[in-house]
Amino acid sequence: MYRSRSVVTALASVLLGGAALALAGFALASNTPHQKSLQCVADATMANSCNLSMSTYGDSLAGQHGPTGGPHPDWVSYSNQNLSVPANTTVNVTINQYDSGGALNNAFFDQVMGTVGGTATFNGVTVTHVDPNNIGHTFTLRGIPGSGSHIFVSVPLPADSKGGVVKIGAGVYTQPNVITFSFKTGSKGVYEWNCEFPCGGSREGQFGQAMSTFGYMSGTLTVN
């Protein structure tokens, strides 16, 4: 009898715990900024190719969080969370990196991976990797687990060091480092991207806040 009661109690605890996690997930999803998708623009100079441009900022006062920076104006952010690109296409990406940085937790992400030619350009210079102690962010794209979609692209974005000032929206930033790279899409699917540089707060390792909140340092890429 005692053992049966213990099993029932344990099962009830698991179910209640699962319900709590589900409610927490629902709350997080409900608070997610719902931004319109950034469309890849067809490249008139190259067949089956399109261009995608975005930026990274040290706060949320520029980009798609609105003129006041949304609920967390001091959180680091990409300019766009939802990216949309065609299937079976070469996507040419330009990222203007306006943020400072530091050292990666994992130097694996100082490598350029999954791009056309295995390279990227950093202010016009072709590179295959960068200094792991001078990273602002990364753009790391992968398939969603269980989706059957397979892709992996990761490009380090060196920390801004140019100096000079530029005003964008309500934000004031130093002149950006410009990173370009290309990757190829396959069939239709939905993929996740995120930053692998520890640029959040509140948790050990700096992977909280903006790092763990969809719409700041993570988003989706939809291949149509």
What's the Cα-to-Cα distance from 176 to each of 28, 56, 87, 123, rounded to whole Å?
32, 9, 30, 9
pTM: 0.81
Which tokens in the block code for residue 149? 């979609």
167-195 residue pLDDT tens = 998 999 999 999 999 999 988 989 999 99
50-100 residue pLDDT tens = 999 999 999 999 988 888 999 999 999 999 999 999 999 999 999 999 999
Query: Could you tell me if 185 and 91 are in contact, meaning their C-beta atoms sit under 8 angstroms apart?
Result: yes
Taking the chain, what is the end-to-end CA distance rounded to the nearest angstrom? Answer: 58
